[in-house]
Structure 1
């Protein structure tokens, strides 16, 4: 257990190179990946509309509906970011830096940074909703 704790601390405080740019395996991989984003957009839109039309009084379900909206925004930003990335010449990525040379580079840079904010917010909203639903169910079983 102590060795595991030391390993975790070493990884957290002395990380190696992250290599955070992910390629999608050529155009076929990108198309499949983008189709996944489109499917997720439609799924989250459907979930939100279904929750809204049910007019449930559950606080947790409403939080899950809000998370669906933020997931839609995340998917849109990520979808656009992936498309714009294909417009940037590969030589713009040199070493540890990207050389901002035009609108696609700016859109990609801002999108790459902001998409994670949307994703974390959506996950936190979903977890808050799931937690509230669990608490509501516990309350009902106690009665």
Structure 2
């Protein structure tokens, strides 16, 4: 089986991690995906509103992760919208992403655009609470958590 997989990998051409779609379809599709993600999480929160019988801590962590994922999606959507509102000359985007700059003069839109790019402050807690909930669900099964590497 692994030989077939190796042959498949060797025989394929370029595989790109990011597929860029031209404007405006890519922008609308991407933001629509954020909307569907939020709707799915809200549905899950509604469905889970009565859960938490035996393992309240795990369900609480899971709900917290869902709330942070909603906040992250809202933040990402705001960042996308604000980026489209910025004039082209407001961003200096050389090939090296570590050299990207937001150029002044700084008004409320540019500051909001800058602040929305701290989305890791919402996404990392979401993943942390998700992992904590999974750990507590695993412990509830009577098994010890996996040892850390």
Normalised to the residue count of structure 2, the TM-score between the two structures is 0.70
Confirm or deny: 8 A CA contact 2:41 2:66 kept in the other structure: yes
Tell me by how many angstroms 1:51 deviates. 1.9
Matched with 2:86 is 88
Name the CA distance, whole Å, in 1 between partners of 2:63 and 2:116: 24
The runs of 5 or more residues in structure 2 that have no matched partner are 1-19, 144-149
Name the CA distance, whole Å, in 1 between partners of 2:41 and 2:138: 21
Tell me by how many angstroms 1:55 deviates. 4.2
Matched with 1:99 is 103
**Partner residue of 2:31 out of 2, 20, 34:** 34
> Secondary structure, in 3 states, of the residue corresponding to 1:138?
coil
- Structure 1 residues 55, 132: CA separation in 2 closer, same or farther (over 3 Å shift)? closer
**Partner residue of 1:79 out of 77, 80, 89:** 77
Residue 64 of structure 1 pairs with residue 68 of structure 2: no
Matched with 1:127 is 131
Query: Cα deviations across residues 73-116 of structure 1 (Å, max 9, x unaligned)?
Result: 11111111111110001211125311133222111100012x11
CA RMSD of aligned residues (A): 1.8
Residue-pair matches, total: 116
Matched with 2:113 is 108
The runs of 5 or more residues in structure 1 that have no matched partner are 1-22
> Secondary structure, in 3 states, of the residue corresponding to 1:84?
helix
Confirm or deny: 8 A CA contact 1:63 1:128 kept in the other structure: yes
Q: Answer 1 or 2: which has greater helix percent.
A: 1
Name the CA distance, whole Å, in 1 between partners of 2:104 and 2:43: 37
Tell me by how many angstroms 1:127 deviates. 0.7
Tell me by how many angstroms 1:57 deviates. 3.3
Runs of 4+ in structure 1 off by over 4 angstroms are none
